[in-house]
Amino acid sequence: MYTRRDLGKIALASLPLAKTLGAVDSKFGGVQIGAITYSFREMHDLDSIIDAMVKCGLGEAELMSNQAEAALGAPAPQFPRPVNTGQRRPATAPGAGAGPGARPRVAREPMTEEQIAAARARTADLRNWRLGVSMDKFKDVRKKFDNAGIDIRLLCFNMNQAITDEEIDYAFQMAKALGARAMSTTTQVSVSKRVAPFADKHKMMVGYHGHDATWDPNEFATPESFATAMSYSKYNGVNLDIGHFTAAGYDPVAYIQEHHARITNLHLKDRMKDHGPNKPWGEGQTPIKPVLLLLKDAKYPIPANIEYEYGQPGMDTIEEMKKCVQYCKDALA
């Protein structure tokens, strides 16, 4: 298993020279603050997203794959939402359905062969585009961020059970072309076993993103679900969303202390416990400040990326993101 020092050497060896020059500085108290570009999802072109990050003073990005692909002319998916991962079955997990006003929570059955075939048929145009596009095109995307002084630290490439092996390999190639040193993904535990040999092949860490679906053993939410993925490969790690982890009933500070060497990055948001809602920062129960101070005091080189999800109609994304950045600055002062 690689140590954090080993992974740091790998990251530094792959860091393009351009990223060390003229960078937007969003490292406070030694802690790298950035954002997942999903936070700017209302902006429909990459130039607007980059401009927004510069305005917010954010120098590190976890780039959403669909945003990068759209900038290069990828065909849009034929469905407005992610593919259903399977039929539902009654939940048996303790506490399922807990939380104010919560509906009964259910786990999902694995997708059937027929469902996988149907899902792949719906995404055939996108898959064909992916398998034909030149990786040099993604180097052009990287230059846009480089020119703005923003480091693409991670590629977020979400997957489901219908992903093909060719697309998994494509995701790693895309990450390398973008200059990313790791990937993050929202997917299922069963898919992480399929990803593992590709992570080994490309020698690139993959952080599995958790939510709070503690009632579904095939979703990333519990420490046990992350442990299962990490058992498949030394390159399988954790993209710890401290808001979702808190909502699921766990302590992100203790988890980071124990597993920091396998954490690719954090997602910062404020949620209420017991599967509660997102809140403006400082109004929820997520220990954002203690987490940031842990990174600072322990000198863990884990990027902490803002994920803006508490937005309501009438709120200005850039202004709210600026508030989140200031919160980090104040916490780390």
Q: Is the pLDDT score of 35 beyond 90? A: yes
Q: Give dist(CA 98, CA 110) in Å, integer.
A: 24
Residues 6+ apart with CB under 8 A from 242: 252, 266, 267, 268, 269, 286, 287, 288, 291
Q: Is the pLDDT score of 13 beyond 50? A: no
Which is nearest to 83 in space by CA: 7, 186, 182, 236?
186
Q: What does the buried/exposed string (b/e) look like for 110-129 if buried means 16 or more CB atoms within 10 Å of the residue's CB?
A: ebeeebbeebeeebeebbee
pLDDT average, residue stretch 14-43: 81
pLDDT at 23: 87
Q: How confident is the model at residue 1 (pLDDT cuts 50, 70, 90)?
A: low
Which is nearest to 325 in space by CA: 33, 6, 3, 18?
33
Q: Is the pLDDT score of 99 beyond 60? A: no
Name which residue leads in pLDDT, 271 or 312: 271
Q: How confident is the model at residue 104 (pLDDT cuts 50, 70, 90)?
A: low
Q: How confident is the model at residue 83 (pLDDT cuts 50, 70, 90)?
A: very low
What is the chain's alpha carbon radius of gyration, rounded to the nearest angstrom?
19
Name which residue leads in pLDDT, 93 or 322: 322
Domain that holds residue 283: 4-332
pLDDT average, residue stretch 156-180: 98
pTM: 0.87
pLDDT digits (tens, 9 = 90+) for 248-283: 999 999 999 999 999 999 999 999 999 999 999 999
Q: What is the mean pLDDT of the chain?
A: 89
pLDDT at 9: 45
Characterise 159 by phi-psi region: left (phi > 0), alpha (psi -120 to 50), beta (else). Answer: beta
Q: Give dist(CA 101, CA 316) in Å, integer.
A: 28
> What is the torsion angle, in degrees rounded to the nearest 10, for the CA atoms of residue 244, residue 249, residue 254 and residue 257?
-30
Q: Is the pLDDT score of 321 beyond 80? A: yes
Residue pair 185/219 in contact (Cβ under 8 Å)? The answer is no
How far from 275 is each of 203, 214, 248, CA to CA, in Å? 35, 10, 6
Q: Is the pLDDT score of 101 beyond 50? A: no
Q: Give the type of residue at 173.
A: Q
pLDDT digits (tens, 9 = 90+) for 117-162: 999 999 999 999 999 999 999 999 999 999 999 999 999 999 999 9
pLDDT digits (tens, 9 = 90+) for 178-209: 999 999 999 999 999 999 999 999 999 999 99
pLDDT at 12: 42
Domains of the chain: total: 1
pLDDT at 78: 67
- The two structure tokens encoding residue 83: 């593919």
Count of all residues that appear for the chain in the document: 333
Q: How confident is the model at residue 97 (pLDDT cuts 50, 70, 90)?
A: very low
Q: Is the pLDDT score of 87 beyond 70? A: no
Name which residue leads in pLDDT, 94 or 310: 310
State the CATH number of the domain containing residue 79.
Answer: 3.20.20.150
Q: How confident is the model at residue 58 (pLDDT cuts 50, 70, 90)?
A: very high
> What is the torsion angle, in degrees rounded to the nearest 10, for the CA atoms of residue 272, residue 294, residue 213 and residue 190?
170
Name which residue leads in pLDDT, 90 or 290: 290
pLDDT at 105: 80
